[in-house]
Amino acid sequence: MTKRTFFVALLLSVLTAVSAYAQYAEKYKYVFPEPIEDPTPVQGKMIGKKKFGYYNLLKDTGEFQLILGYQFDTADAFDRQWGLARVSAGGAYGFIKLDGAVAVPLVYDDAKGFNEHGRALVALRGKWGIVDHQGNQLIPCAYDSMNDLFNGWYEVSRNGEWGYLHYSGLYASSYSEYEKARNGLKEIEQK
């Protein structure tokens, strides 16, 4: 084999490998960017208070690229249904969109992930409330505790009293009231 034939064969194999990798990148590109911790040492140490950003695999080259810079104190994976990620900066939590725009302002002391209906529990000054995936506050942060039940209902407590709250604002102070209200809402929703 001559040198020329060798280099042509080598060039073809490299081009084939690059093409295969580009197809791999296109096929396996993440639909949602993934969180990543800044790999830069903090004060000469690899462990410390670092910032988080989001990366993805580029279609063109198949390389990993930082999509949203290292700007968050914490960063969760993007919710696959709503396309939002819970992040925090300066001790305040909120949610961002895929492009980094703020969907729910970073003003909360804590925030839980979105449920299947696009509602998330958020806390402000120790009180819990509900926001939707568009950033609208459905229930003000006024409850000492709040647990997601199902069908839009939440178990809540305020000043030591327990009850049930629908995201629409309907409140039931006992389980029997909750049952009646829940069944009444089912009938309204079915009509």
Distance CA 73, CA 147 (A): 26
Over the stretch 122-178, which tens digit does the pLDDT of each residue have? 999 999 999 999 999 999 999 999 998 878 899 999 999 999 999 888 899 988 888
Q: Can you read off the two tokens belonging to residue 57?
A: 């695999």
Delimit the domains of the chain by residue range. 28-109
The beta strands (E) that lie in 73-118 are given as 74-75, 85-89, 92-96, 102-108, 110-111
Average pLDDT, the chain: 82
Q: Decide if pLDDT at 73 tops 90.
A: yes
pLDDT of residue 130: 95
Instruction: Check residue 90 and report its DSSP letter.
Output: T
Q: Which of 21-25, 51-55, 62-66 has the highest mean pLDDT?
A: 51-55
> pLDDT of 89-122, one tens digit each?
999 999 999 999 999 999 999 999 999 899 999 9
- 93 vs 10, higher pLDDT: 93
Is 80 exceeded by the pLDDT of residue 189?
no
